[in-house]
Structure 1
Amino acid sequence: MADYVPIPGGRDVRGVRDGPEEVDSIVVACPPHPQQGGSRADSRLGSVADALAERSIATLRFDYGPWDEGRGEVTDAVAACRWARERYDRVGLFGYSFGGGVAILAAPEVEADALSVLAPAATIGDRDVATAVAGIGVPMQILVGERDETVEWRRVLEAARERGATVERVGGDHFFVGQRDRIAETVTSWLAAELA
């Protein structure tokens, strides 16, 4: 069941809460770049939300407010996590591509219990995502496509590896065509274990 959710804060941010009612855990899912068609309807976010629902974990997928060069988008992710924290015992944070970079930048500002990112961008606006990895104090998972030439992920991967994150390189490019179920299962299994 999906419930539409306005996210409180200073920006116009709207989300949809997927999954079973009366659960203790939720994952906030940050979408890809809004100026390139990224939204809460992204198929990778949807696949992860479906897989989480099967494990009795809710998902909050949201659309960013008006474009703000990455600054406002990080603020939106923080606001979404705060909304989730007020309602759930355990909160995970997930992001894909631009959303992966946003999630990494937001993580030190929120009380998430775990962070999983898929093909994260190395920069968001003028902020260096790889440098921000060092400030993350929760368990972290990063998955990248070995043939991904869409975003520069290598520095983020190395920074995550240095801090002891769970790192997985999979075949495929940035879009993980034909692998969405496999990726969703990998992300979901890890998040479910961390949020248990």
Structure 2
Amino acid sequence: MDVVVGGVRDVRATLDGGAGAACVVACPPHPQHGGSRSDGRLRAVSDALVERELDCLRIDYGPWTDGAGEVRDARASIRHCREVLGYDRVGLFGYSFGGAVALLAAAEGGAELAAVSALAPAHRLAADLDAATAAGSLAVPTQVVAGARDTTVEWEPVVDAVRERGGDVVELPADHFFVGQAESVADAVAPFLAAALC
């Protein structure tokens, strides 16, 4: 089902499922590099969540703003899930740029967010948008899934921050793009989020 997320920016989304008691907002990779809600890794995680009777709202960001607006888009999507779609429990997932967006948005959250999982998150979107610092401040269950051969983004500081606070870290034998490993990604992410949201 197509969804227009309420707010100042033009955020479009697809709601997968629709019958679950909880929902995960999925943040895509960098929009200026082709990232969108149709990303294969987001779809694989969404399919695995729906199999576990959780819904997934895969979003497209509004107009490009170097990260700050995209974090606001994720926050607006959480609010939309709770206030408009009526979910009691909402989680966040993001890949690459979207992983950093998810961590930063989670750091601005409170009781309204149940968990966050980031796949190959970029360490920093801008000088004042540090995903590792955000990850280290989170009070909700937090997971990072990283590709052990990833040289595209600097993910190690995020992993260190999550490990330090006792979060869940999964390393897969992959590079940044997880080619042919979407199912492995989903097998790592969906159970973590399901356990936190159910």
What TM-score comes out, normalization by structure 2 length? 0.95
Residue deviations 1:30-60, cap 9 Å, x none?
0000000000000000000111111111000
Corresponding position of 2:107: 108
Structure 1 range deviating more: 83-92 or 30-39: 83-92
Corresponding position of 1:9: 7
Name the amino acid aligned to 1:47: A
Q: Counterparts of 2:46 and 2:2 in 1: how far apart (Å)? A: 15
Residue deviations 1:106-151, cap 9 Å, x none?
0022321011110000011222111111221100011100000111
- Structure 2 alignment gaps of length 5 or more: none
Q: Counterparts of 2:178 and 2:38 in 1: how far apart (Å)? A: 16
Name the amino acid aligned to 1:120: P
Q: What SS is found at the alignment partner of 1:120?
A: coil
Corresponding position of 1:81: 78
Corresponding position of 1:121: 122
Identity of aligned residues (%): 55
Instruction: Give 1:170 deviation, angstroms.
Output: 1.0
Instruction: Give 1:153 deviation, angstroms.
Output: 0.2
Q: Counterparts of 1:48 and 1:84 in 2: how far apart (Å)? A: 18
Corresponding position of 1:59: 56
After superposition, residues 134-145 of structure 1 pair within 5 angstroms as 134-145=136-147
Tell me how many residue pairs correspond in the alignment.
193
Corresponding position of 2:40: 43
4+ residue segments displaced more than 3 Å: none
Name the amino acid aligned to 1:44: R
Corresponding position of 2:89: 90
Q: Given that residues 19 and 55 in structure 2 are in contact (C-alpha distance below 8 angstroms), is that contact kept between their aligned partners in structure 1?
A: no
Q: What SS is found at the alignment partner of 1:46?
A: helix
Corresponding position of 1:176: 178
Residue deviations 1:46-105, cap 9 Å, x none?
000111111111000010000001010000000001111221011110000000000000
Q: Given that residues 21 and 89 in structure 2 are in contact (C-alpha distance below 8 angstroms), is that contact kept between their aligned partners in structure 1?
A: yes
Q: What SS is found at the alignment partner of 2:154?
A: coil
Instruction: Give 1:22 deviation, angstroms.
Output: 3.0
Q: Given that residues 170 and 188 in structure 2 are in contact (C-alpha distance below 8 angstroms), is that contact kept between their aligned partners in structure 1?
A: no
Q: Counterparts of 1:183 and 1:134 in 2: how far apart (Å)? A: 23
Corresponding position of 2:192: 190
Q: Counterparts of 2:178 and 2:19 in 1: how far apart (Å)? A: 32
What TM-score comes out, normalization by structure 1 length? 0.96
Name the amino acid aligned to 1:186: A
Q: Counterparts of 2:15 and 2:24 in 1: how far apart (Å)? A: 10
